[in-house]
């Protein structure tokens, strides 16, 4: 199995699927000749030409609106939004149109496409290049939301997303685009949507996280282990619909849960997870569920490492929860 980073794995998935299915088209700003500002689509323009790898005018609303139209026609568009921070000019198309098409047309028009977009901070991008807006899309009925944490999952989840009958938002944690490396299965390889993975076993505290923060959670879990606290670490992979069974099974075992995410705390996905745990496993809880998250401020530039919920902030929450 070849070793790849996230960028290469996503590129590999796109190339594989574009070869397999000639309805798949990639469109967005700078995705063609330059291969995307993060080089994720590099080489696709040379192989598939500009009918299928399309540099568009600078308009996210235009990109998503036309991608919806292409999908209705029968293509399988994979639009790229250069940074998830710039998705908002297309918000209306995504939220009011894309997400609602199947429902509002009585199932006649199941518009489906996969919006790929880099997400998250830690790359000195300030607030317009660092946000984590996943909750704003999870709140919208009709969308699936995915966020891989490693190259193999990135490939497998992207192939599943492209073949899924529903619209998918595919958030790529850019902080680990090149830092996360690993073996990636050759050829066709799918990771099912809606299935979390338990990346570390433990009996004392359940840590729920995703994307780039997985590595911080693992780091904190290893430090906690040195103090005799064994964490079970769950990587959600698909943020919505949530793999609630995996979370509840783990909480029933540990009785304690800490959710870690980069997005602001209030009304974030962490809040939903805590609510679900309360609803479904209240009597198993030994401590109040905790959230370690970004703050309810815009994402800052200079102080970004203080903003992010890195391991030094996760560890005390684990210890307090374990000793509650």
Ligand X SMILES: Cc1ncc(C[n+]2csc(CCOP(=O)(O)OP(=O)(O)O)c2C)c(N)n1
Catalytic residues: 129
Q: How far is the CB of 64 from ligand X (least distance, A)?
A: 12
Query: CA–CA distance from 29 to each of 59, 132, 269, 300 (Å)?
Result: 8, 20, 29, 25
Q: Identify the residue among 43, 192, 306, 324 touching another protein (CB under 8 A).
A: 306
Neighbouring-strand partners of residue 145: 169, 240
Nearest-angstrom CA–CA distance, 137 and 240 = 9
Which CB atom, from 161 or from 321, has the smaller least distance to another protein?
A: 321
Task: Please classify residue 222 by burial: count the beta carbons closer than 10 Å to its beta carbon, then call 0-12 exposed, 13-18 middle and 19+ buried.
Answer: middle
Instruction: For helices 311-322 and 213-226, give the axis angle rounded to 10 degrees.
Output: 50
Nearest-angstrom CA–CA distance, 157 and 247 = 19
Residue 96 binds to another protein (criterion: CB under 8 A): no
Window 113 to 132, contacts with another protein (CB under 8 A): 124-129
Nearest-angstrom CA–CA distance, 42 and 178 = 14
Residue environment code for 163-193, b if the CB has 16+ CB neighbours within 10 A, otherwise e: bbebbbbbbbbbbbbeebeeebeeeebbbeb
Which CB atom, from 82 or from 246, has the smaller least distance to ligand X?
A: 82
Provide the 10 A C-beta neighbour count for residue 2: 11
- For residue 32, the partner it binds in another protein, ligand X, none, with Cβ less than 5 to 8 A by kind, is another protein
Which CB atom, from 177 or from 240, has the smaller least distance to another protein?
A: 177
Residue 134 binds to ligand X (criterion: CB under 6 A): no
Residue 60 binds to ligand X (criterion: CB under 6 A): yes
Q: Write each residue from 180 to 219 as x if it is in contact with another protein (CB under 8 A), else as -, in one continuous string.
A: ----------------------------------------
Residue 80 binds to ligand X (criterion: CB under 6 A): no
Q: Identify the residue among 8, 82, 130, 311 touching ligand X (CB under 6 A).
A: 82
Tell the residue number behind the tokens 């992207």, with chain if given. Answer: 158
Residue 1 binds to another protein (criterion: CB under 8 A): no
- Binding residues for ligand X, per CB under 6 A? 29, 58, 60, 82, 86, 89
- Binding residues for another protein, per CB under 8 A? 29-30, 32-35, 37, 50, 55-59, 61-62, 85-86, 88-89, 124-129, 265-266, 295-298, 300-303, 305-308, 310, 312-313, 316
């Amino acid at each position: 199995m070849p070793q790849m980073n996230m960028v290469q794995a996503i590129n590999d998935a796109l190339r594989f699927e574009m070869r397999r299915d000639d309805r798949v088209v990639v469109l967005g700003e700078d995705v063609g000749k330059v291969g995307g500002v993060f080089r994720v689509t590099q080489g696709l323009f040379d192989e598939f030409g500009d009918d299928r790898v399309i540099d568009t005018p600078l308009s996210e609303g235009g990109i998503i609106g036309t991608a919806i139209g292409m999908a209705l026609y029968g293509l399988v568009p994979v639009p790229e939004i250069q940074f998830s921070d710039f998705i908002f000019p297309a918000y209306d198309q995504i939220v009011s149109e894309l997400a609602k098409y199947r429902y509002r047309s009585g199932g006649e028009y199941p518009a489906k496409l996969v919006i790929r977009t880099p997400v998250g901070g830690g790359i000195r991008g300030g607030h317009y290049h660092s946000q984590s807006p996943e909750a704003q899309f999870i709140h919208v009925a009709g969308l699936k939301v995915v966020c891989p944490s490693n190259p193999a999952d990135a490939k497998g989840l992207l192939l599943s997303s492209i073949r899924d009958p529903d619209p998918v938002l595919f958030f790529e944690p850019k902080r680990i685009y090149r830092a996360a490396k690993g073996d990636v299965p050759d050829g066709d390889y799918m990771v099912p949507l809606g299935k979390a993975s338990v990346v570390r076993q433990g009996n004392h505290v359940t840590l729920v996280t995703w994307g780039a923060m997985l590595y911080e959670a693992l780091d904190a879990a290893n430090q906690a282990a040195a103090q005799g606290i064994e964490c079970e670490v769950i990587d959600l992979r698909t943020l919505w619909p949530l793999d609630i069974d995996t979370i509840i099974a783990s909480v029933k075992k540990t009785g304690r849960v800490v959710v870690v995410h980069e997005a602001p705390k209030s009304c974030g996905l962490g809040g939903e997870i805590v609510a679900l745990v309360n609803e479904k496993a209240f009597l198993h809880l030994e401590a109040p569920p905790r959230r370690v998250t970004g703050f309810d401020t815009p994402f800052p530039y200079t102080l970004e490492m203080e903003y992010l919920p890195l391991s030094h902030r996760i560890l005390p929450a684990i210890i307090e929860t374990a000793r509650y």
